Amino acid sequence: MKTSVIGYPRVGAGRELKFATEKYWAGECGAEALEATAAALRARHWQAQREQGVDFIPAGDFSFYDGMLDTAVWLGVVPARYRRLGLSPLDEYFAMARGYQGERGDVKALAMKKWFHTNYHYLVPEIEDDMVPEAGASRLCDAFLEARELGIKTKPTVIGPFTFLQLARFTGQKTAWEVRAALARAYASLLAQLRALGAEWVQLEEPALVMDLSPEQIRLFEVLYGDILAAKGTLKVLLQTYFGDIRDCYREVTALPFDGIGLDFVEGKESAALIEQYGFPKQATLFAGVVNGKNVWRNRYADTLRLVARLQSYCPSLVLGTSCSLLHLPYTLQSEGRLPEAYKEHLAFAEEKLGELFELKTILSGKTPTAEEAKAHNDRLFQGERVRDNAAVRASLEALSPASFTRLPEGKVREGIQQAALGLPLLPTTTIGSFPQTAEVKANRTAYRQGQISAEQYHAFNRAKIAECIALQEDLGLDVLVHGEFERSDMVGYFGEKLEGFLFTERAWVQSYGTRCVKPPIIWGDIARTAPITVSDAVYAQSLTTKPVKGMLTGPVTILNWSFPREDISLRKCAFQLALAIRAEVLALEAGGIRIIQIDEAALREKLPLRKEDRQRDYLSWAIPAFRLVHSGVRPETQIHTHMCYSEFGDILPEIDAMDADVVSFEAARSEFELVETLAACGFRSQIGPGVYDIHSPRVPGVAEIRAALHRILKSIPPSKLWVNPDCGLKTRGYAETVPSLAHLVRAARETREHLSP
């Protein structure tokens, strides 16, 4: 029995890559220092996998920002606007990721979207009509040689051509079929280079195969790989899929001469049944994804061993692997000194997943005392109940009725009531919630957590920052204000810390995009609110101004999707527990005089099943009601907002409208406002705030740029339905960018209002 890992976390257990990259951006270190940090991390990650006996260690899974961006650069798919800047290759790469504003020009970043149904974000390659993809200098070959110099044998891995084409954006007239031949030649050239370097296996990652596919898409896949595999020679090619099963194209995949096929048996509901129904090619090795690469709970060996026995009767050549890249997990439990052992023994982060693969490999390779003890210890972990139910929470769930999910009166009636109550101008301006988290803000929070300052000192500092934030927004002329969220390091973790049922870590960081890392909490037990969470700060902020201040909450679906969920109860039950907790906070804010309450559902789409046939039954049937449960009890004059970011929403807009929020803000700027026309076409009821500039880029948008965006939006959206706001919270930006950007936003909105006035 052998083992394989699809990919490994790359930012470093101490976020070394994050800090080195941000120093490079700030001009505090050079490219050589950044490359040295990267090389040290790669070596450390390869060594960790070798020490755990991994037989197929990936090389090429490391990235300075994103794997899709790396693939685009290798293929020469670099839009002209970046090439014209005349930057170094590394700076051109970062310009594509973050935008550029300086002496060489002013360009926006590539669009950024969620990587399938994860919280990781990828950059969307743009294929222009004059582009001919071709194999350029590849860091993949360099990584293979780098590992070999360390005495480590690796399997080079790269995003496959089919997934690249499915996720890329064609900006002109060209289609995927028209670039298919050139793309196949580029991949065939890469295989030839790797074969010449002595590689035995190469992993081509094709997660797009687990989605709904049309006959034309399947044919494109077949033609692409027919050309590529014809040129592979002695090199063995592993087609690696993840995030689901390949039910639409299983027979086409297994008919091609792949040497290995990687299937997901965690999220792939039909993977085992497909093998049993159609068989598995005798010449191929099955790379079975049996260790969960997305959740932190220990693998239940008894279940995995039964599955492996079931598969081996069809696939004599079988390799145990992870269900997806371990990129979506924290590094190691060894960094968690404060987490009690009684909790830790039930958990497995990336490094512990390697240990699970090793133990499963040992158990399956023959009975030894070590193997027997590993199996017995694992069995004991799953005996008995890990947590006790909260009787009060259970009673609240049982008391829910259809009326619990319905707000009255209907939205059209509420709109008029709220306009009269709030008296807002046409095109009201606001922000999404957070203001910059400066070093001073972070230091105050750290000092409080470490016991260096008292609670009184901590809260006094935050009150002073709230007062500054309110004053700044009034000076800028914003219409609806926020308190700035200086008490929150994370929009999910902050609420989890105030609710029963969560576990928190010290250093369990996970990459979200680029250098942005998050620390998802772990849902351990039943969830309950025992005290007010945000009311005091919201009421204080409102006392400082006559303008409305939004109460800022995170919605139940986002808290669930950005946490590591329980596996012993349904997601539906967990979402409704969270909804009841946040509902209590909503009603408390309203009672405190807060007239606008924003309940962010940034991650609503994140866990949406990739296949349409699974969406209503497995997700939307509880995700939409969970949000409605949160706000169904408020008065008509209380305006409910929600925010969603960096996803494709076009195919679930009716469901989003059914959430019955009064105002919905979306990310729109980075995707060139593509969503706006779709909103208009589907008759979207709610008022909308399509973000008019991209906060994930350090560039400052000009007044004319924002005004042009508003005029474009107003071609599809009536002025009475439109709000003006950035596309996300401002916590990751500095005040040097934030203040002029918001000033330009307010001015552009005012000038557009004047243009609209009779």
Q: Would you please indicate which residues are annotated as catalytic (active-site) residues?
A: 696
- Chain center to CA of 577: 23
Task: Give 220's contacts (C-beta < 8 A, 6+ positions apart).
Answer: 162, 165, 176, 177, 180
Between CA 535 and CA 665 the distance in angstroms is 23
Q: Which helix (H) or strand (E) holds 500?
A: strand 499-503
How far apart CA 389 and CA 16 sit, in angstroms, is 40
Q: Which amino acid is at 547?
A: K
CA distances from 82 to 67, 96, 150 (A): 18, 7, 35
Q: Are strands 105-107 and 100-102 parallel, antiparallel or unpaired?
A: antiparallel
d(CA 11, CA 225): 32
Distances (CA, A) of 277 to 220, 223, 257, 311, 484: 25, 25, 20, 12, 56
- CB hemisphere CA count around 478 (13 angstroms): 29
Of 593, 484, 498, 599, nearest to 553 (Cα)? 599
Residues in the chain: 758
Give the ranges where 112-175 is alpha helix by DSSP (H).
Answer: 139-149, 161-167
For residue 605, the 8-state DSSP code is T
Q: Contact at 8 Å (CB) between 202 and 260? A: no
Measure the CA–CA gap between 302 and 356, rounded to whole angstroms: 13
Distance, CA of 491 to CA of 537 (rounded, Å): 15
Q: Would you call 151 exposed, middle or buried from its count of C-beta atoms within 10 A (0-12, 13-18, 19+)?
A: exposed
Of 510, 594, 513, 512, the closest CA to residue 553 belongs to 594
Peptide bond into 409 cis (omega under 30): yes
Question: Which residue type, as a one-letter code, is found at position 584?
Answer: A
Position of tokens 């002013």? 106
For strand 522-529 and strand 499-503, is the pairing parallel, antiparallel, or unpaired?
Answer: antiparallel
How many beta carbons lie within 10 A of that of residue 72, not counting itself? 26
| Dist. CA 105–CA 487, nearest whole Å | 37
